[in-house]
Structure 1
Amino acid sequence: MGEQPSSADTPLWAVVELDQFRTPEQTQASQWRRSFRSASTWLVGKNSAEQQVKEEHELRALPEVRLAHLVPPIDWAPAARALAQQLKGQQALVTFFITPPHSGHVSVVSQWAEQHHFACLPPPTLSELAEGDTQWVERCANQREWAVPALERYFLRHTQGIQGVREFLERALSGRLGQGVIGCDSWAYAYLQEVVGIEGAPVFTLQSMEGEQLSQYFAKIATHEGQSPLVYSTRTGKPVLTESATQHGDKAPNKELQRLAAHCRGHIGLAWHYWRERLREPTADDEEALWLVDALAEAELSTDTGDIATLVLHALLVHGGLDDHSLGKVLPFSHHEALNARLALQRKGIVSSSEGRWQITPLSYASVRQLLESRNYLVDPL
């Protein structure tokens, strides 16, 4: 067997077929650590669970203006170009591009569609989904080159709510709707694969990033006048970014970011949120370096999370987020119980509202996914 290419040789934005996706090194160990940390926190308290070189009370959050310069929003254009390269040789009429929550499939497919003059199909209304109205599928027949940036917006998980997307996918996969590219949340994809069947259509995703690639990316977006900032880990006291670590003689500069990569399963969208949320500056004005507070600190999800809360979390993931009204429609208990469970999760910081929908927060996603997997729920392939 030939040697595997190192992460330094791998492009930052690589689009691969789904079966070629690989989680970063140490991902399994990261899950064990997360379980151990949760138990340690419960036994000895959050502050004692893991010792820090630099305590958080010595640091403060960065001003929003500075943070916007150091960690600007992700530019998904390179991923859209990588997708375009993959689609060049494709003969299939319909192709899927999937990512987990907060990881860019909507932006990537939207940008690709705009560049290639494919029309983005509007999603059905909530009333159409609730009533099982399939008229929106007929509207799609007017386009022969089309894109769906977010298929998770095209169904609700109940008898009426699945009818339209079932018909749409049957027509699309049979070639009756022409050529299309479908962006889809990985959890919605797993669900639709189970209940509708999407065999035969090529599926692409972003390849995971290792710690070294995260280091390159975070250094690049923060570089000013040729200099990337000095960022130290509060956990180890060592430089985090590759260039500054090398200057300090550290031969293993990416250990902290490899830990983050494993925790996020290599998904840049999730890692970006951790990086942005956890950067700090010293309270002392004479210090210039930045600090990354424990990158894996997250909203704690108790191991004894109840069945109702667990079902709420799974429903939110399968649909890529839901409003309260729709959430009540897809759960096997009363709207009052669903609302109470959602409120409890909101208070714990596990869910938050974005664009009118309740979603799993980026920093809670890893622990939520692990909980659902441990309880044998249907989980995503990424």
Structure 2
Amino acid sequence: MANVAEKETINPELPGGLIPLESWRLPETSVHRSIKGALRNTWIQVRAGFSPDDEAFESLDDLPVLSRGQIERFAPDPDYGRIARLLLQSVVESPVNNPVSFLVAPPFSGVRKALTVLADEDSGHSRHLIMPPDNLLMSDSDAREWWDACDFSTPWVIPELASFWLRHRSGLALVRELLRRVAAGEAGEGLIGCSSWCWQFWSYYLPDARFQPLTPAPMDAGKLGLWLGGLGVPSSDSGVVARMADTGLWVLPSDPDVLGEGQKTANFLRDLAALSRGIPGIALGIWQKALRARPEEEQLEPLEKGDHQSVRAQCWVAPLNKLSLPVVPSAAGRGLAFILHALLLHDGLGGDRLELVTGMKGHEAALALNRLLRADLVEYHESDGVWRVTPLGYPAIRRQLQSDGFPVDAF
């Protein structure tokens, strides 16, 4: 009965809601295929009533990647306006009762985009948006004067705290003064989003600071199935349907109670949750890359409404080990690592600031960025003029930085 109640109360757009930071746990991966697993998969295929020859594909070349229109149909970006409302509701319902709430999340969790929406008057939850100054290099007195000029009389929001500091001896004053005011109760009612990498730095820099941050629950296999299935626009009452291209096992819908008798699910979502570290934006990027479809299946509909056993797969899913994901270049120098770590600490940096925090010369930084760009590990965002790591490159980047001895986040 507890499971039923959970399914009824979980929100597919923010599965798991917000949880205390210390409660976050990395999703577990499945046991990779062994001889026993291969025999089990063969037996499942027999019981499910199909053979690999007629329901799966020997080569992924037979299945083209999805077009942009198909991605918008099956795996579009989430509605950040709705996520913003859910985040605000979760903060209000949280037992943590502080005037200023902190939402800490790993990169690509969508928190920054969602909190930015809260400042939009059309969102229905308009909050005063506090943006960082152009110059982040300040003395302590300059920082006090800058915050004195901010309006804390009405509810406010800072979408990303990482935008308010630089890892430089003169770039810490703004955040230091803000955290002092929050701790002293001098900042009114506010909401602060913070990258997990930025939070890791400031938790180490100010170990006595205790703000009881909240974070979105990690996307495990069950939450991913609910979330990814809810993103796409269903072409029938059965919703988005996806099956493994190599075995024909079901990926979506992922709920065994929804599937028909004899229809078995794959371990794909569990492995995707582990590979993406439970981060929705990374999982979605890999999901979009893994989806395949035959053009003629765009028009296929269930033979009988509501009958999952008569539904043909709307799209097929390539195995994770068949995907080509970015990797950190071999024999990468410390310069590349310093750049990647700096980009994560600050949730993106422009060229000038990147040189400032890494100590690299202009031509050195430019050459390193070009190498990272060609490896699909970073990309340039024209909208705000900064370099950021890519969602598909993030898992490899985090592993490499941890291996190289850099301090990493807790996610």
TM-score of Structure 1 vs Structure 2, range by shorter chain: 0.7 to 0.9
What is residue 225 of structure 1 aligned with on the other side? 236
- Partners of 2:198 and 2:344 lie apart in 1 by 7
- Partners of 1:337 and 1:18 lie apart in 2 by 37
Is the contact between residue 209 and residue 266 of structure 1 (CA under 8 Å) also seen in structure 2? yes
- Partners of 2:386 and 2:365 lie apart in 1 by 14
Q: How does 1:1-382 map to 2 (within 5 A)?
A: 11=10, 12-26=15-29, 54-76=58-80, 77-78=82-83, 80-88=85-93, 89-111=95-117, 115-125=124-134, 128-130=135-137, 134=143, 135-197=145-207, 199-222=209-232, 223-242=234-253, 246-247=259-260, 249-251=262-264, 253-282=265-294, 289=313, 290-295=315-320, 297=323, 298-302=325-329, 304-354=331-381, 355=383, 356-382=385-411
Identity rate of aligned residues, in percent? 27
Deviation, structure 1 residue 61: 2.4
5+ residue gaps in structure 1? 31-51
Letter in 1 for 2:214: F
Letter in 2 for 1:371: Q
Deviation, structure 1 residue 277: 2.6
Letter in 2 for 1:67: I
- Partners of 1:92 and 1:198 lie apart in 2 by 17
Deviation, structure 1 residue 332: 2.8
Superimposed CA distance per residue, residues 104-130 of structure 1 (whole angstroms, 9 cap, x where no aligned partner): 1113334456654431212221xx114
Report the secondary structure of 2:209's partner residue: coil
- Partners of 1:5 and 1:378 lie apart in 2 by 41
Report the secondary structure of 1:158's partner residue: coil
Q: What RMSD over aligned residues (CA atoms) do the two structures have, in Å?
A: 3.0
- Partners of 1:214 and 1:58 lie apart in 2 by 27
- Partners of 1:117 and 1:285 lie apart in 2 by 43
Deviates more, 1:223-232 or 1:237-246: 237-246
Report the secondary structure of 2:149's partner residue: helix
Residue 202 and residue 254 in structure 1: after superposition, are their counterparts in 2 closer, same or farther (change >3 A)?
Answer: farther
Residue 266 and residue 370 in structure 1: after superposition, are their counterparts in 2 closer, same or farther (change >3 A)?
Answer: same
Is the contact between residue 327 and residue 397 of structure 2 (CA under 8 Å) also seen in structure 1? no
- Partners of 2:7 and 2:277 lie apart in 1 by 18
Deviation, structure 1 residue 349: 0.8
5+ residue gaps in structure 2? 33-55, 301-312
Superimposed CA distance per residue, residues 112-149 of structure 1 (whole angstroms, 9 cap, x where no aligned partner): 56654431212221xx1145553532322553532111
- Partners of 1:366 and 1:5 lie apart in 2 by 33
Deviation, structure 1 residue 285: 7.5
What is residue 41 of structure 1 aligned with on the other side? none
Deviation, structure 1 residue 325: 1.5
- Partners of 2:212 and 2:255 lie apart in 1 by 41
Is the contact between residue 13 and residue 82 of structure 1 (CA under 8 Å) also seen in structure 2? no
Residue 57 and residue 254 in structure 1: after superposition, are their counterparts in 2 closer, same or farther (change >3 A)?
Answer: closer
Q: Which has the larger radius of gyration?
A: 2
- Partners of 1:286 and 1:70 lie apart in 2 by 11
- Partners of 1:375 and 1:6 lie apart in 2 by 45
Residue 275 and residue 148 in structure 1: after superposition, are their counterparts in 2 closer, same or farther (change >3 A)?
Answer: same
- Partners of 1:178 and 1:286 lie apart in 2 by 53
Is the contact between residue 212 and residue 254 of structure 1 (CA under 8 Å) also seen in structure 2? no
- Partners of 2:5 and 2:117 lie apart in 1 by 29
Letter in 2 for 1:250: Q
Letter in 1 for 2:28: E
- Partners of 1:286 and 1:220 lie apart in 2 by 18
Q: State the TM-score, normalizing by the size of structure 1.
A: 0.82
Deviation, structure 1 residue 242: 2.6
Letter in 2 for 1:233: M
- Partners of 1:57 and 1:146 lie apart in 2 by 51
